[in-house]
Chain A
């Protein structure tokens, strides 16, 4: 069925790096912008990064700018985020989500979410 499946989470020491991946199935991946959203334990959602459908435009939250890098491989239907220089406050479930089609940016929303992958930053 139409779905997103994240992988790559785990326990990592402060200062280290991790690569999270999201695999898309059963929809035309190349047509959609994609985002990563995270949720710290017991907290709300926090947008992390976005990437355009062609991969040429990338945007980041101030809290991760310079440390996280979003990318996509449209031949493999995957979107990744390289998370570096990890800190304790990066501990969260990381979700990838699909941004809806045919919308002016400020009217766009996220209509398909993965199940999330947990990143725990701990020494």
Chain B
């Protein structure tokens, strides 16, 4: 079965750029999606179809997908961005796969 691999954790200082990766075999041939999940809350979509931002998501969130790796980039990271981030793709047209999640800490 298809797997998506994320680093378990990432720490950045306020104002820095956070880059969260999601790796999977030939991931560029699929779309990558990213969800933000704050403690005790449900996931919220922040990037869809590799690089598109839903309305209401700040411009500092961006995405890319190349080769085997999709990347969620948060520019000018703020304390409010501290959360778990989950990538998602479709393994087949009928099954979904999520990465293990990355805990972003803003120190």
Interface residues of B in 56-107 (CB under 8 A from A): 86, 88-90, 93-101
Chain A residues closer than 8 Å to B93, beta-carbon distance: 105-106
Determine how close the nearest CB of chain B comes to the CB of A69; give it in whole angstroms: 16
Known: A105-B90, A106-B90, A109-B33. A50 touches B42 (CB 8 A): no
| Chain B interface residue number, banded | 20 to 34
Total contacting residues, chain A, CB less than 8 A: 25
- Could you tell me the distance between the alpha carbons of A35 and B43 in the complex, rounded to whole angstroms? 14
- Could you tell me the distance between the alpha carbons of A113 and B31 in the complex, rounded to whole angstroms? 20
Chain B residues closer than 8 Å to A116, beta-carbon distance: 42
- Could you tell me the distance between the alpha carbons of A111 and B42 in the complex, rounded to whole angstroms? 11
Chain B residues closer than 8 Å to A97, beta-carbon distance: 43
Any B CB within 8 A of the CB of A27: no
User: Across the interface, do A109 and B88 meet the contact criterion of CB distance under 8 Å?
Assistant: yes
